[in-house]
Structure 1
Amino acid sequence: MTQPATQPSLTERRKAATQLDIARAAAALFAEHGPDGTTAEAIARHAGVALRTFYRYFRSKQDAVGPLLSGGAERWRALLEAAEPGALPKTLETAVTKALSVPDAHTAEQFTWTRGLLRAAEHDPALRAVWYRVNQDSEERLLPVLSRLAGPGADPLEVRLAAAAATDAIRVALEAWAGTDAPASGPGSPAELAVRCLRELTGGMRLLTS
């Protein structure tokens, strides 16, 4: 049986909520004025926090949107952490489909933010660097989760390759979707594209085909 995840403390929840408020403020201002036309001071004011609070959590205005960009990866990892060891390909596909589904208006809004930020990142190297850093962090956090799911006899190199491929599948799917006007669910959606990318990238991996 999997061990229950440790619940975050009240302080940690408050910190995460403040970071998300700042991230949403940054994304809203980026959408209206672009990253170049947005300052850290404006983001802090829009979020209702002091500038020193902004810099307590984030190094730059682009860095502030990290919590929004990492939300999908956190949902996916949580689903995998709750899964039992077994058929890894099916487990990965099920988790990615659920993580990128749109069950409510709040999730739909998150996808709207993500699309706008990824489009802006095409022309902003600092914002693009934040996106790449979010994905690198996701891959590293995914490693121990996949190691447990794969079992003690799994080759560590194959597990690492699976973590990299799975992370890139979601990254490429979201980037491809953001460049279109496809809806957040149904044909051409992030979930559909991510499953397609996952199958393409992992099709020849022994860990995911045996």
Structure 2
Amino acid sequence: MAQARGRTGRPPLSEERKAEIRLEIARAAVDLFVTQGVAATTGEQIGRAVGISARTVWRYFPTKESCVRPLLTAGAELIADTLRHWRPGHPLPDAFDFEQRAADDDRLLTAPAHATVGALVRLTRTEPGLRAVWLQTYDEAEPAFARALAERAGLPADDLRPAIQAAMFNAALRAAVEHHAWHTADVPADPATARSDLAATLRTALTTAAAGLA
């Protein structure tokens, strides 16, 4: 009886490693987009910057603009988690204390660099393809925000009230992040100062919307 052949070739990548590769591709794509523009950037260049082939880049992302999604979705996941842990009786803006979160949440230590995300957000103002990815990310995040708010309030997931609250929160959040990125383009700052400035901008935006989020 012939002996069964064992599996050959490289072992499959873990989900954690796949996520790391996606983030590496995202950072390389943003660096190239900032340096030479989206139109001049190719899949081959993105892959070369990461040490992989263009074919591998396209295995992870359908378009070069979509390569930036991991930098955006990571933030949306952290925000939804923050909403779930927003303590009753505490103002919503206080939930976004980045200095405290950095001390309590190891995920913030490995989050994309503030300067990288800021550069990406600024590009969405002039690059239609990136703008579409940026807006789509917020559109897809809104149901997660609604579920988090419903869970916190003890309401059914399909209740209208958290859906409306999530829409208000989502709009305030996007406006704050864009305002911060566009108004700090030429102001170099260390990571701690940048987090503090962004937190202050978020507090202003969320305080403005707080009447509908009480």
Settle same-fold status: TM greater than 0.5: yes
Q: TM-score, normalised by structure 2?
A: 0.78
Structure 2's unaligned 5+ residue stretches are: 1-12
Distance in 1, Cα, partners of 2:175 & 2:99:
15
Distance in 2, Cα, partners of 1:98 & 1:156:
30
**Which residue of structure 2 aligns with residue 120 of structure 1?**
123
Distance in 2, Cα, partners of 1:153 & 1:105:
34
Distance in 2, Cα, partners of 1:176 & 1:148:
30
SS state at 1:179 partner:
helix
Distance 1:56 1:100, change over 3 A: farther
Structure 1 position 172 matched with structure 2 position 175: yes
**Which residue of structure 1 aligns with residue 97 of structure 2?**
97
How much does 1:155 deviate?
A: 8.5
How many equivalent residue pairs?
A: 191
- The alignment-based identity, stated in percent, is 32
**Which residue of structure 2 aligns with residue 202 of structure 1?**
210
Amino acid at match of 1:86: P
Structure 1's unaligned 5+ residue stretches are: 1-9
Distance in 1, Cα, partners of 2:95 & 2:43:
36
The answer to whether the 8 A contact 2:176-2:201 is kept is: yes
Bigger Rg, which one: 2
Q: CA RMSD in A?
A: 2.7
Q: TM-score, normalised by structure 1?
A: 0.79
The answer to whether the 8 A contact 1:85-1:151 is kept is: no
Matches within 5 A, 1:30-69: 30-69=33-72
Distance in 2, Cα, partners of 1:40 & 1:148:
41
The answer to whether the 8 A contact 1:44-1:50 is kept is: yes
Distance 1:149 1:33, change over 3 A: same
Structure 1 position 76 matched with structure 2 position 84: no
